[in-house]
Structure 1
Amino acid sequence: MTNATATDKHPGELADVPGWFPPLDQTLFTWFLDRQKKAGIKGDLLELGVYMGKSAILLGHHLQDGEQFTVCDLFEGDAPDEANKAESSKSYASLTQQAFERNYLSFHDSLPTVITGPSSLVDEKVAPDSCRFIHIDASHLYEHVYGDIGAAHDILLPEGVVVLDDFRSEHTPGVAVAAWEAVLNRGLRPICLSTQKLYATWGDPEPLQEELLEMLRQRSDVGLSLQEAAGHRLIRTRSRGMKPPPFPPSRHYVEPVATPAPAPQVAESRAAHPAGPAPSRARRLAKDLLPPVITRAVRRARAKRS
């Protein structure tokens, strides 16, 4: 994870929004959401922890008619405990609800439903078995992630997909413990792993994995490997210079002004300089025939007259 600097400017493109959302994960989000649409899977979307809205903006682009999108974040609110307060002060001091809403509305006509507060409020606000896609990127503390996974289990549809951020980062061991504990003891079944996120379901992952492998094997910009662990097939993916998928620009996008190309350098030649009048044939003959002594005398006489 690298630092993402907040900005007060309206973003012109998704890349202008601060946040940690690599091209590989943008590609995987897009693939899962598009596949759900093609398969006729309907359901709401949910994101826990939005930061400046980068992944939320992409999620909102995939809303279908009649679906709801809910986001939850502390923003400037009080954390539920001292550990969470310390984490928020260290990593998210620049986060404000105003900044999130400004960025989101640059790309969309209306805001999602916003829950301002800890993610523990979500299971009170979002109905069970209502969501097809959930992104968990809130607190990194074990107790909170454990609760977020439990809430996601109740809220997610049987064929839905849940994504856990920072499941393997060295500075977020609580997420790793909660994530793999859910795999081993709480019925969560991995679909694939990116460098940053774990994609999983409580349904059958095999059909998703087969289709995903078919797509990934056609790309040269993704590193791909398969492993087995504790009875689970793990698809590991990593970027090989991947570019983010196409995404519509914001309403504030300004087309870059093309810089005019410098004029080509033309080598000077004799033709570029007009030549003086050619000497007459008689003068050329006189110059060739007169002895050098006479020629020098003629030049001196001319110089005296002038």
Structure 2
Amino acid sequence: MQHWSSQLNRYLRVGQRRVEGWLDPFSARYIAELIFLLRESGRFGPCAEIGVHHGRLFILLHLASEDLSVAIDVFGNQHLNTDRSGRGDRKRFLENLVRWGGDPSRVAIIQKSSLEVAPEEILSAAGPISVFSVDGGHTAECALNDLKLAEATLHPGGVVVLDDFFNEVWPEVCVGAVQYFISGGRLKPFAVTPNKILLCDPDYNAFYRTTLRDRLRLYHDKDAELFGSPVSIMGVRRYGTFGLLKRRVAASPAGPLLKQLKTMFWRLA
């Protein structure tokens, strides 16, 4: 990850594994590459997350941004956490943020249920959001509400990262997302990574999907379709060192020749 500051590199290599939460290392890498692509294209600005917990993904977003980041969580108001999905801790979150090089003065904390947050509250705090992580309440009502909230505050060309869509323990997230898609939600999927689906305006689907697929081609599992939208399945299959080496060779200039030789060998065998 030579694109990044030493701070962010350190967090990707070490820090995000030491902050309590649920974030697959490949999904972290994919999101980091997405942010770099947004910066290259001049579309990267404020980030936001619903469901910060102890900051595992939020810190990554914050370290990559030079703008204000918005953290939305009930934190200590656990009576608002009706489905008991996670247990955010504001003190621990801020400690983790500082420990890994974050700047609390660039964080706007909204401590309440996202069901009570209006789009204007986010926009007035930070402006349009470039990357919006949705990992809050895991009921259908919360998932639907949070996707609508993210859509209403997203910068043109921005991306929403939805957590737990395929998680068997939280099926209502899938229900809420389906309700969003079939009720006319503007955003559509373009990628699936471990425990995440990434959404954007359809006009940007091909750009994000193909560019990130090419940059992380060793981890490209397959192409598929989700809710009528083409998606890349990335990093879901697990490969050891030998498996990744085979993929690296296959992706090299010698790959097609080796494939032909392999085919000839099996025909002669």
TM-score w.r.t. the length of structure 1 is 0.67
Once the 2 structures are TM-superposed, how far is the Cα of residue 232 of structure 1 from its aligned partner? 1.5
Distance 1:53 1:122 in 2: 22
Instruction: Between 230-239 and 17-26, report the one with greater CA deviation.
Output: 230-239
Partner letter of residue 151 of structure 2?
A: H
Once the 2 structures are TM-superposed, how far is the Cα of residue 134 of structure 1 from its aligned partner? 0.2
TM-score w.r.t. the length of structure 2 is 0.75
Correspondence for 2:129: 131
C-alpha change, 1:108 and 1:180, in structure 2 (3 Å) is same
Correspondence for 2:108: 113
Partner letter of residue 31 of structure 2?
A: F
Partner letter of residue 195 of structure 2?
A: Q
* Consecutive unaligned residues in structure 1, runs of 5 or more: 1-11, 244-306
Correspondence for 1:188: 187
Correspondence for 1:44: 46
Once the 2 structures are TM-superposed, how far is the Cα of residue 231 of structure 1 from its aligned partner? 2.8
Q: How many residues align?
A: 220
Which aligned pairs between 1:79-118 and structure 2 lie closer than 5 A?
A: 79-80=79-80, 84-85=81-82, 87-88=83-84, 91-93=85-87, 95-111=88-104, 112-118=107-113
Distance 1:74 1:229 in 2: 31
Q: Greater helix percent: which structure?
A: 2
Contact 2:187/2:200 (8 A) holds in 1: yes
Give the secondary structure class of the aligned counterpart of 2:123. Answer: coil
Distance 1:182 1:242 in 2: 37
Correspondence for 2:215: 215
Distance 2:59 2:164 in 1: 19
Distance 1:30 1:229 in 2: 23
Correspondence for 1:199: 198
CA deviation profile, 1:240-291 (whole Å, cap 9, x unmatched): 3489xxxxxxxxxxxxxxxxxxxxxxxxxxxxxxxxxxxxxxxxxxxxxxxx
1:236 equivalent in alignment to 2:230: no
Distance 1:172 1:145 in 2: 11
Aligned-pair identity (%): 24
Give the secondary structure class of the aligned counterpart of 1:187. Answer: coil
Correspondence for 1:58: 60
Partner letter of residue 58 of structure 1?
A: L
Contact 2:35/2:64 (8 A) holds in 1: yes
Distance 1:137 1:92 in 2: 10
Give the secondary structure class of the aligned counterpart of 1:15. Answer: helix
Structure with the greater relative contact order (CA < 8 A, sep ≥ 6): 1 or 2? 1
Contact 2:190/2:229 (8 A) holds in 1: no
Once the 2 structures are TM-superposed, how far is the Cα of residue 203 of structure 1 from its aligned partner? 4.3
Once the 2 structures are TM-superposed, how far is the Cα of residue 150 of structure 1 from its aligned partner? 0.8
Distance 1:144 1:154 in 2: 15
Task: Kindly report structure 1 stretches of 4+ aligned residues shifted beyond 4 Å.
Answer: none
CA deviation profile, 1:42-98 (whole Å, cap 9, x unmatched): 42110111111111111111112xx21010111111544xxx43x23xx535x4211
Contact 1:45/1:132 (8 A) holds in 2: yes
Partner letter of residue 119 of structure 1?
A: S
C-alpha change, 1:236 and 1:58, in structure 2 (3 Å) is same
Distance 1:27 1:119 in 2: 27
Query: Larger radius of gyration, structure 1 or 2?
Result: 1
